[in-house]
Amino acid sequence: MKIREELILKALAGEETKVELVAKYGVSRKTLYKWLDRYKERGLAGLVDESRRPHSSPMVTSPELALAAMQLRKAHPSWGPKKVVAVLARQYPGESIPSVSTTMFVTPRSPSEWSDRPYPRSDGPPPPRSGWPPPSPIRLAASTPDPLARPLTC
């Protein structure tokens, strides 16, 4: 904040050109002009970083629909998100129904649908495959005779 104040005060004083100031302080000219405009509008309070959060989220799912989707999924655990969306569309005809991906995100999933589990079974990792890993070619070549090889005669 101190650096911004110093930069703005020097820019307003006109001691150095704006090009020299931005090179000296390592900011872009666009940023300098943005800070100058904020300073002129709001004073020192305008130099504080502003939130980048959007002012509104018009596409957010309403809490009522999210709750209805969760209740449907709890009552019918075998239903997927497509079915839940279809039933919600019938139950709330005038409402903006969430998409299938949003419904999948909002509703709790059954253990069979968990994608972040390392193993799909509850008993742990699968047993190792027999003969795995395959023997190395060097060991294989040394252990099996070559049928086309001629016997060595001296």
Specify whether 67 is located in the same domain as 92: yes
Specify whether 68 is located in the same domain as 95: yes
What is the percent of the chain where pLDDT is above 90? 31
Specify whether 43 is located in the same domain as 71: no
- 136 falls within a domain: no
Counting runs of H as helices and runs of E as strands, what totals does the chain give?
Answer: 7, 0
Residue with structure tokens 């970083």?
Answer: 49
Domain holding 27, by residue range, is 2-47
DSSP characters over 34-92: HHHHHHHHHGGGGGSPPP-S-S--TTPPPHHHHHHHHHHHHH-TT--HHHHHHHHHHH-
**Residue-level pLDDT at 143:** 55
Q: What residues contact residue 114 under an 8 Å CB cut-off, 6+ apart? A: none
- 134 falls within a domain: no
pTM of the prediction?
0.41
pLDDT band at residue 119 using 50, 70 and 90 as cut-offs: very low
- 125 falls within a domain: no
Specify whether 104 is located in the same domain as 71: yes
- 37 falls within a domain: yes
pLDDT digit string, tens, across residues 58-95: 778 888 888 898 889 888 888 888 999 999 999 999 88
Residues 123-139 have a mean pLDDT of: 63
State how many domains the chain has.
2
Specify whether 32 is located in the same domain as 70: no
Specify whether 70 is located in the same domain as 33: no
C-alpha of 103 from chain center: 17
Pick 147 or 15 by higher pLDDT.
Answer: 15
